[in-house]
Amino acid sequence: MMLDSTLDVSASRPPRRGLPNLGLGVGLRNKHFSYLMTHDPDVDWFEIISENFIDNYGYARSVLKHVASVRSVVMHGVSLSIGSTDPLDWEYLKKLKALAEFVNPAWVSDHLCWTGVAGVNTHDLLPMPLNEESLSHVTERVHQVQNFLERPLVLENPSSYLEFKESTIAEWTFLSELASETGCGLLLDVNNVYVSGYNHGFDAEHYIRSISHDAVVQIHLAGPTDCGRYLVDTHDQPVPTRVWELYKLAQELTGGVSTLLEWDANIPDFPELVVELRKAEAALRGENPGAPIHKSDGTSAVSNPVDFQFSTDNV
Ligand SMILES: [Fe+2]
């Protein structure tokens, strides 16, 4: 696909740091639409899944317009596929930019991942090999996306369940160098750090201490599911104790950035969701608001699984 002739994809723009701390927010989800149209929500801001509103001009768009008129909104996408070797999808980016002009988000985010190849969208956030070649590849594409959107781009660390033998750079170093090279911001999902650390045997605290704190503009919180050998990033239960501990550490190191609670299955009613979100304030006071992690068989773990080391070849 040809690039729009008006695009300047070569010039680097100044860094986009200094984005505001929006406070405590939640995802905008269908389940809460009617509540939000009739109540003043007790949250500071909302994050939308961009794809839920692209080409959607029905009731959902009306709700979005209302919410964006009363609270700050951030756009969070799942289809950028910044790591793919496919060309960037300029039709998708045009729609993303049009939605951004409608919403006027504080920033636009997506994930360090690839979601497909050969024009196929797998609708999965697939992990990348992390090395100098892929860093160069993603750096160039981030420049192009930022120059096109003319808005801050923020990238999130994904949860992952396998690693590549070709990887030579730690994920926290890869993201930090990417942010340094492009001026993009980082979305630090501390639950994803916990999940990936558990699955791959790295120290989640070391990850959070090592990532570029100046580049982090947002944090995600969520609750995973204990599947025994693996933790799975299910977003379907309360935030566990260890994730709250990592959150407190991250906020101390970053100096305080926007916090977003993700909850995408078994979603509670809005007031209950706010109760879970407000635990962030307790966590920052050093209290322990965490819950046990539910197992995949529906039972609860006695305590949170701890980061552990195991010996395995990368796959
Ligand atoms: Fe996340």
How many whole angstroms from 245 Cα to the centroid of ligand 1? 17
pLDDT band at 44 (very low <50, low <70, confident <90, very high): very high
How many whole angstroms from 235 Cα to the centroid of ligand 1? 9
CA separation (Å) from 97 to 7, 151, 252, 304? 13, 9, 34, 41
156-201 pLDDT tens trace: 999 999 999 999 999 999 999 999 999 999 999 999 999 999 999 9
Confidence (pLDDT) at 314:
31
Confidence (pLDDT) at 220:
98
* Ranges 10-14, 41-45, 113-117: which has the least confidence: 10-14
How many whole angstroms from 237 Cα to the centroid of ligand 1? 14
CA–CA separation, 262 vs 52, rounded Å?
A: 15
258-270 pLDDT tens trace: 999 999 999 999 9
Confidence (pLDDT) at 313:
35
Confidence (pLDDT) at 294:
86
Strands 185-189 and 216-221: parallel
How many whole angstroms from 159 Cα to the centroid of ligand 1? 8
